[in-house]
């Protein structure tokens, strides 16, 4: 009720300001109102972050050698409002969990790698590279924002459904793009690849987008295995699978199949029907689409795309050989590869990383950075597994299983695409991991309290 009253007051003040004081007063009141909503209603921040990834690459603002997108600006506003409220209320910025330590260690190693980069690169290139480091730090704040903002199980479910809804909207925008703008060749001068007849939506990249659809589809499949199947399950799964197939992304298909079989193997007693259905859908899709046949056959052969990917891996391995311990500095690949003559245009969107998140981390932060990166994702898998094995709540078990399957698919996917370092992908991952961390902590607290009660009961006898 309080939030609706605040909205009504905001609309009244904004209208009065526009009529009396002009545009700037209107914008100032709107900004203050948005800030208030972000501090008082965390769910508004979640919605804003998801709207940012829906906007994707549509709005790009050049800054130095790089660019920022609308999701970066939204992220800054959301995290600033959250941090402001935490400071005013003198509350903790995080809750204790298994993901915090490897994440902090990874951040420290990234920072040290940039200091080391000052030895081998000009200062302006290191400063430019460090901007993405601060961007990476900002995006991981979503994990802490979510886990400290959820108040109850209802909000946790709302955040899950909002994440699925964002994926559905992205899919629909992709279907529209495929109908009215199927040829992306005209975007080559802007640094984008010349995709033709592939679903790109607002991300402008079918491989990264396909990885997201695979991740979300696996979350829905997990829900269907634990809860009563509803229309929205079937509708959203059909949308995600269709969108995934229309990206014609081999890496995404391989990732989805891998994550799907992980889920099936972990729930074989209840999921045998899903296995048959999944295999049947894949066979029908393969037989119905000559282009899918061509893409699948390309998995077993080295075509032009695969050659470029192998070349990207080889380029990075050359840099790893020269800097195995500390790397070249986080997000400095475009400069180092250009100076080594491994790429011809450092301004291309793909020049900032390799076709593998793990190789990118290894090349830029060294072996210590790679170990911390592996530790981070294995910790995330462990937290999700703890959710899955607690059978008291079907939604929680399904969420844990879905994240396990989804992260497994992204780990495979990130061997071919730089998906685990892509900001828009990380928004969804950090949001859902934040939910998982909070639920896992509450479950642990309940178990500990129950154990203490039993001990006290026993001692009193």
User: What are the distances in angstroms from CA 238 to CA 212, 252, 338?
Assistant: 15, 16, 43
Least confident among 11-15, 187-191, 202-206, 313-317: 11-15
Tokens 């009961």 appear where? 457
Task: Determine the pLDDT at residue 177.
Answer: 95
CA dihedral 122, 348, 327, 135 (to 10 degrees): 90
Which of the two residues, 319 and 157, has the higher pLDDT score?
A: 157
Task: Determine the pLDDT at residue 427.
Answer: 95
Asked whether residue 355 carries a pLDDT value surpassing 90, the answer given is no
Task: Determine the pLDDT at residue 148.
Answer: 87
Residue 450: how many other CB atoms lie within 10 Å? 10
CA 208 to CA 460: how far, in whole Å? 59
Mean pLDDT estimate for the chain: 82
Residue 348: how many other CB atoms lie within 10 Å? 14
DSSP letter (8 states) at residue 148: T
Residue 134: how many other CB atoms lie within 10 Å? 10
Least confident among 88-102, 114-128, 275-289, 350-364: 275-289
Mean pLDDT of 277-300: 71
Q: What band does 187 get if pLDDT is binned at 50, 70 and 90?
A: confident
Which of the two residues, 137 and 37, has the higher pLDDT score?
A: 137
Task: Determine the pLDDT at residue 458.
Answer: 37
């Amino acid at each position: 009720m309080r939030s609706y009253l605040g909205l009504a007051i905001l609309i009244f003040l904004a209208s009065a300001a526009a009529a009396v004081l002009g545009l700037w007063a209107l914008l100032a009141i709107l900004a203050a109102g948005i800030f208030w909503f972000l501090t008082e209603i965390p769910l508004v921040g979640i919605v804003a972050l998801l709207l940012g990834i829906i906007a994707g690459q549509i709005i790009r603002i050049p800054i130095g050698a790089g660019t920022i997108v609308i999701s970066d600006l939204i992220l800054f506003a959301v995290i600033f409002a959250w941090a402001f409220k935490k400071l005013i209320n003198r509350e903790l910025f995080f809750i204790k969990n298994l993901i915090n330590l490897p994440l902090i260690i990874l951040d420290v190693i990234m920072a040290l790698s940039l200091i080391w980069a000052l030895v081998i690169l000009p200062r302006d290139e290191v400063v430019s590279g460090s901007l993405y480091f601060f961007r990476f730090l900002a995006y991981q704040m979503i994990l802490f924002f979510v886990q400290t903002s959820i108040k109850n199980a209802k909000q946790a479910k709302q955040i899950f459904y909002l994440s699925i809804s964002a994926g559905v909207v992205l899919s629909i925008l992709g279907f529209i793009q495929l109908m009215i703008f199927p040829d992306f060749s005209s975007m080559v001068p802007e640094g984008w690849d010349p995709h033709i007849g592939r679903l790109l939506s607002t991300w402008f990249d079918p491989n990264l987008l396909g990885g997201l659809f695979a991740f979300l589809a696996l979350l829905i499949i997990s829900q269907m295995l634990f809860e009563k199947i509803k229309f929205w399950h079937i509708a959203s799964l059909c949308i995600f699978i269709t969108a995934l197939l229309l990206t014609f992304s081999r890496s995404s298909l391989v990732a989805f199949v891998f994550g799907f079989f992980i889920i099936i193997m972990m729930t074989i007693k209840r999921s045998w029907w899903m296995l048959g259905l999944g295999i049947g859908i894949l066979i029908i899709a393969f037989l119905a689409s000559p282009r899918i046949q061509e893409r699948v056959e390309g998995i077993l052969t080295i075509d032009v795309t695969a050659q470029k990917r192998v070349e990207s891996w080889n380029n990075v391995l050359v840099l790893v050989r020269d800097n195995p311990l500390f790397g070249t500095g986080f997000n400095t690949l475009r400069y180092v590869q250009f100076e080594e003559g491994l790429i011809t245009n450092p301004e291309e969107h793909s020049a900032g990383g390799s076709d593998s998140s793990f190789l990118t981390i290894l090349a830029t932060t060294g072996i210590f950075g790679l170990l911390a990166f592996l530790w981070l994702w294995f910790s995330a898998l462990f937290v999700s597994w703890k959710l899955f094995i607690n059978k008291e709540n079907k939604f929680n078990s399904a969420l844990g299983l879905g994240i396990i399957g989804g992260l497994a698919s992204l780990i495979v996917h990130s061997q071919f695409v730089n998906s685990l370092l892509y900001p828009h992908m990380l928004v969804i991952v950090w949001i859902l991991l934040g939910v998982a961390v909070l639920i896992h902590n509450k479950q642990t607290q309940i178990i500990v309290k129950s154990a203490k009660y039993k001990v006290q009961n026993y001692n009193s006898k």
